[in-house]
Structure 1
Amino acid sequence: MAPKRPVNDAEPGENGREVKKPRKGFSVGPDNLPDGTHRRKVQKIKKDLIRKAKVKKSYNKIKEREQANASQATPNGPTAPEEASASLELHPERQAMLDEPETVPQQQQQADQRPRQRRLPRPKPVPFQREAQLAQQRREDREKRQKEIEEANRQRQAKFEERERFRKAMAKARSGGKDGQRKLGRESKVLLEKVQRMVAE
C-alpha cells in the first residue's frame, strides 16, 4: 500500500506563500470540435469577444481619464459660467438667418395657388409578372406550332387523297373495255390534270 501524503503538503505553498495556479483562458464552445466550419465559427466568436472586451476596457480607461480631467477643472470655477454664456449666444450666420424677412410663406402661397395635378395611382405590382409573360409566350409558341403541325397534316392528307384519286382513275382508264382496249379518253383527262398540276408548281 502507498504511503499517505504528509500533512504539510496540503498547506499552501512552501515558505507560507500560496502556489499560484496558471490561469487558463476562457473557452467558447466544446474543446473537441473537428477542424472545419464549426471550429472556425467558434474561433471567430472568441476573437470577436476578445476584441469587444479590449475596446470596452480602453473606453473605460479613457472615460476615467476624462472624468479625472473634468473633476480637476471644476474646482477652478470661472470656466463653467463662460461655457454657459457661450452656449446662450447665437452663431452670427444663424442670427442673420433669423433676422431675414420671411420669404418661405410667399413661396408656399404661390405653390398653393397653382392647381394641383392629380397623381395617377400606381399600378398594383403583379407578382411573378416576368414568369407570367414567359409562360404566355410559351403558350403562344405552342399554339403556333400546333397550328403548323395541323396545317402540314391537312396538306399531307390532301396530297394523299389526290394521289389515291389519280391512281384509281388511271387504273380505271387502263382497264380494258368491251373489246379489251385501253380507254384513251379517260386516261388523257387524268394525264392532262397531272401536267397542269406540275406546271402550276
Structure 2
Amino acid sequence: MTHRIDELIVKIKELEEEMEIEFQRKREDLLTSIDRKRFRLSEEVALQQRRFRQGVVRFLIEARLLNILTAPLIYSGFLVFVLLDLLIFVYQGICFPVYGIPKAKRSDYLVFDRVDLPYLNAIEKFNCFYCSYANGLAAYFREVAARTEQYWCPIKHARRIMAAHDRYPRFFEYGDGESYRKGLERLRKEYEKQGI
C-alpha cells in the first residue's frame, strides 16, 4: 500500500472522529445522564418532547393506505433476520477461534435506544426497534464478513466497489501476487492494529 493512501486513511479517520465529537456535543445538549450504555433525556426535555407524541389511533388514521398494506411484507423479514443472527452467532463461535480471528461484539452493532424517546407512540417505537435490529444486524454481519475476507481473501477488486468496508483499504492490490504471498500471514494477524 502506498504512503499516500495510508495518509488519506488517517485523515478520513480523523475527520470521522471529529464528526463524532460534534455529534456528541449535540447529544449532550439533550441528555442528562448515562446509564451504562443507555442515554436518558433530561426530565425537562422529556416532558417537552412528550407533547409531540401522536396517539396510535391518530397515527393509523393519518397513515397512507399503502404504508399499512405493505407493513406485513416488511415485518415478514423479521424471521429471516433472527435466523441470520443465529447463523452469525454459530458461524463466528465455531470458525473464528479456529482461524484466530477476534469475534465481533454483537452489542457494538445492535443498539436499541430509540424506543426510549418520549415522542414516539407504540407503533413508531416498534418500527424503530425493527429498523435498529435490521440495520444493526446488517452492520454486524458486514463486520463478520469483513473479518472473514481479511483472513481468506484480502485482495481488492479490479473494479471500484460501492461502500467498501473499513478493512478493505488495507487489502492487497488486484494482480499483486507477490505482495499477497509475502504479506498474507501478516495481514491475517493485523486485527489489533484496526481497533479490535
TM-score, normalised relative to structure 2: 0.22
Larger relative contact order (Cα-Cα within 8 Å, sequence gap ≥ 6): 2
TM-score, normalized by length of structure 1?
Answer: 0.22
Higher Cα radius of gyration: 1
